[in-house]
Structures are given as C-alpha cells and as structure tokens.
Amino acid sequence: MRRTGTGPIEHRRAWSWMAAHAFTIVSAECRDQAPVRRVPGVSRTPQALSCPCCLRRFRMRGHCLCGAIAFEVDGPAQACVVCHCESCRRQCSAPMTTYIGVLDGQWRWLGRPPKAFNSSPGVERTFCDHCGSPLSFRSKKMSNVMHFFTAAMAEPEKFAPTLHVAFEEKLPWVKLADGLPTRFGPDYTKG
C-alpha cells in the first residue's frame, strides 16, 4: 500500500495529479477520430484512448436497473476513482465501486429524482426506490461535486479509473494488478 501525505502541498499535488491524468472519455461522434488500441486476448473491440475533444466536453446519460431513475452528465468529469470504503461497499453490496466526479451545474436528474439518505453526517447517498440500484453519493467536504457510480452510466466502458481511494479499507481477498496509485482515505482531493 502506498500512502500519500496529508499537508496542503499534497492537496495541491493531488489536484494537479488528477488534472494531469484525465481519464479516457470518448463520445460517439469522436470515436472514429480518437486513437485506439486493441487489448490482445481480451477483446477484438478497439479500446478508445484519450480524445482531446471529448476530454473537454461530452454528454452521457445513466440510469438504474429498472429505468425509473435517469440522469445526464456533461463533461468534463473531475475524476474517476475506485473506492474501497466500507460505506460505498455496503451501499453497492459490492467489494468495491467506481465513480466519477461531476461539478454541480454539469449534471441533472431526468424526471423524478431518486431517494436519498445520509450514511453519515454530511454524506448523502441516492438510490432508486423501485429497484434499489445505488446511483450516487456526495459529501459536504466536496460540496460542489456530485459522484455517480460508473456502472450506472450508459457507457461505463468509457470511464477508466486512475486511482484507488480508501485503499486501507480494501478487502484482503481483493487482488489487484492494475498498477494504479492508491490513496489513504476516501477523499481523492485531500489527504
């Protein structure tokens, strides 16, 4: 496990690191123009790499399992991380989850909003009240950023995480070999 520092210099480094390692997003209209690579033995489908056009802007929808709750997100996303914290784990009933961060004003619920509950003071988590799908969480510590679970996006394959957070809470039987950096605690913007 690699832990990063917690001082203000480290905070700035974290933000600049995230900015410098913007993750892969390619919208449909730019897919043909984006550089691609093939993953040997995994897929015959070309995997899109960073498209400068789409890193600046994209629009994508997401929805719950039953489709009753849908949302729309405009780019650019601020981050795409894998979270190992117990709260995300329990909300999603999964050993870990991946989410994207989107600034307020760049996302919206389509139709009626989901149910919300506070998993801890200042932390709001949402879910579909019909099928139970987890959809998002937000923290007052990052008050202008909404986090949508990547798996709820219409095209989750377009979002590749760049960082593991709350890595100290990772379940011991989860074995990872993705080479991504890890961070102590759930907040990818702070130590």
Q: What are the residues binding Zn ion (CB under 5 A)?
A: 64, 66, 68, 83, 85, 88, 128, 130-131, 186
Compare residues 35 and 67 and give the one whose CB is closer to Zn ion: 67
Cβ 35 to Zn ion shortest distance, Å: 32
Cβ 75 to Zn ion shortest distance, Å: 22
Compare residues 64 and 73 and give the one whose CB is closer to Zn ion: 64
Cβ 29 to Zn ion shortest distance, Å: 29
Return the closest-CA partner of residue 166 out of 82, 77, 78, 79: 82
Compare residues 10 and 168 and give the one whose CB is closer to Zn ion: 168
Cβ 72 to Zn ion shortest distance, Å: 16
Cβ 115 to Zn ion shortest distance, Å: 10
Compare residues 68 and 151 and give the one whose CB is closer to Zn ion: 68
CA distances in angstroms from 46 to 49, 95, 147, listed in the order given: 9, 28, 28
CA distance 65 to 43: 25
Compare residues 38 and 90 and give the one whose CB is closer to Zn ion: 90
The two beta strands, 47-48 and 59-63, are: unpaired
